[in-house]
Chain A
């Protein structure tokens, strides 16, 4: 039986822990630099089982992708022609060329052990020129931003994490709002007026505006998701909508990091 007087040192211990280690956060990513190989080994059985389970789906997807590839090849040819024409005309107008991005591919090697945060660990870090606040995308659209970087690993804050913020707009009506995560599959688009034209199924894109709270610059036009539900804010002032991300965040295995 623990006596009340024995609890005093324990309570003091709690406060000591709070005071000493609350500033420990930013350096924690280095733990994953040393665990990277083990984590990669640990994810192999899951990857193999997923491969076996989804082999039929993969063959159907392969066929679909081949067809899509043929169509895309045709479109690429067409776009190259357009680019050449654009380059010619831009040169004529002497316009400043916009800065180019390049992409770094990375694999997801771990997830946050807590249910209160939605983050993943990827196997690329500062060594691969990955920097904090870099934008992370998937095959279909926005995945999140780099929150912490180690030498060989980084932590990505997913779009459905409550700490995630991004300025977004609706493709159809050009209505702008602030996108935040809500822990689960869906995100919320806030600060919408009651008069705004919003419908279920509308595509949500990044607007390219920089928020005061974030150093990330999201390239404009990245697909975030589709509007799933439109509701009124509890304050009654405006509307909000639930956005279903285009990327399957729970099954994320590979991502691309945009390096400016």
Chain B
């Protein structure tokens, strides 16, 4: 059941990611909806479910993006493993502000990781200012969107997770 809910939600969010209206962007920077699902699952799901979904969602995002295949897959998987390994959930309180700051930090790390993979694996060269803009604005926008998305996810699937 939870896999079905996540599949439907993931498909909806990937469509939203592809058709995200320009009026809702922050200086042309768009949020990363799929990362919110990865963070949520890494915090609240059991076993290797979060890793499986990180691979799936990263692969799905890579499938529709122009960049080298596997970059999102790798960064999502690393984020998922990192969060699971550190067991951050126990340090997080059930407060929106804490969750917001947490998503902000994780998103920043993911963007940094993604940028490094772009530079190392795809051989890309970026100018510093646009990269910093993506880091800060991308993290902020994803953190803002994470509040309603995580709320919906919690409401939909509370009985399936070890919250």
Q: How far is the CA of A182 from the CA of B65 in the complex (A)?
A: 18
Q: Decide yes or no: A112 and B74 within 8 Å by CB, A2-B81, A2-B85, A46-B19 being known contacts.
A: no
Determine which residue in B21, B64, B67 has the highest number of CB atoms from chain A within 10 A of its CB, and name it: B64
* A110 close to chain B: CB less than 8 A: yes
Flag if A38 contacts B15 (CB, 8 Å): yes
A1 near B68: Cβ-Cβ < 8 Å: no
Known contacts being A162-B124, A162-B125, is A147 close to B21, with CB within 8 Å? no
Q: Mark B79-116, 1 if CB is under 8 A from A, else 0.
A: 00100110100000000000000000000000100110
* A28 and B87 contact, CB distance less than 8 A: no
The answer to whether B146 has its CB under 8 Å from any CB of chain A is: no
Q: Contacts A1-B87, A116-B115 hold; do A147 and B66 have CB atoms under 8 A apart?
A: yes
Let me know if A24 is at the binding interface, CB within 8 A.
yes
Chain A residues contacting B124 (CB-CB under 8 Å) are 116, 162
Cβ of A185 < 8 Å from any Cβ of B?
yes
Q: Which of A1, A109, A114, A182 contacts B130 (CB 8 A)?
A: A182
Contact between A25 and B63, CB atoms less than 8 A apart: no
CB distance from B151 to the nearest CB of A (A): 22
A184 interface residue (CB < 8 Å to B): yes
A71 contacts the other chain (Cβ, under 8 Å)? no
Contact of B67 among A17, A53, A116, A183 (CB under 8 A): A116
Q: Are B27 and A184 in contact (CB under 8 A)?
A: yes
Q: Which of B53-88 contact A (CB under 8 A)?
A: 61, 63-70, 72-74, 77, 81, 84-85, 87
Cβ of B22 < 8 Å from any Cβ of A? yes
* Cβ-defined partner of A114 (8 Å) among B61, B121, B131: B61
CA distance A155 to B18 in the complex (A): 13
Contact flags (1/0) for B34-59 with A, using CB distance below 8 Å? 10000000000000000100000000
Knowing A114-B65, A162-B124, the reply to whether A183 touches B134 (Cβ < 8 A) is yes
- Knowing A2-B84, A251-B22, say if A42 contacts B15 (CB, 8 Å): yes
State A195–B125 Cα separation when bound (angstroms): 27
Chain B CB within 8 A of A10 CB: yes
Query: How far is B66's CA from A147's CA once the two chains are assembled, in angstroms?
Result: 9
Asked whether any CB of chain A lies closer than 8 Å to the CB of B7, the reply is: no
- Measured between beta carbons, the chain A residues less than 8 angstroms from B70 are 17-18, 21-22
Closest to B48 in A: A2
Q: How far is the CB of B83 from chain A (nearest CB, A)?
A: 10
Given contacts A2-B84, A183-B134, contact A117 B67 (CB under 8 A): yes
- Is A14 in contact with chain B by the CB < 8 A criterion? yes
Docked-complex contact B67 and A114, CB < 8 angstroms: yes
In the complex, which residues of chain B have a beta carbon less than 8 angstroms from the beta carbon of A38?
15
Residue from the list B15, B18, B63, B66 in contact with A117, Cβ < 8 A? B66
Q: How far is the CB of A244 from chain B (nearest CB, A)?
A: 13
Contacting residue for B69 out of A1, A21, A113, A155, CB 8 A:
A21
Is A22 a contact partner of B66 (Cβ separation < 8 A)? no
**Cα(A105)–Cα(B1), bound, Å:** 44
Pair B77/A10 contact, Cβ less than 8 Å? yes
With most chain A CB atoms within 10 A of its CB, the pick from B19, B126, B138 is B19
| A135 CB to nearest B CB, Å | 18
Question: How far does the Cβ of B133 sit from chain A's closest Cβ, in whole Å?
Answer: 7
The yes or no answer to B9 lying at the interface (CB within 8 A) is: no
Is the CB–CB distance between B18 and A185 below 8 Å?
no
Q: How long is the Cα–Cα vector from A46 to B24 in the complex, in angstroms?
A: 10
Offer 10 A-B interface pairs, CB within 8 angstroms, sorted by A: A22-B69, A35-B64, A39-B19, A46-B21, A50-B21, A111-B30, A113-B30, A113-B61, A114-B66, A182-B130
Task: Given A22-B70, A117-B65, A184-B27, output 16 extra A-B contacts at Cβ < 8 Å.
Answer: A1-B87, A2-B84, A7-B81, A17-B70, A18-B121, A25-B68, A28-B63, A31-B64, A114-B72, A115-B29, A115-B30, A117-B66, A162-B124, A183-B134, A184-B133, A250-B25
Would you list the 5 A-B pairs with minimal beta carbon distance, nearest first? A183-B130, A110-B18, A46-B21, A24-B69, A113-B17
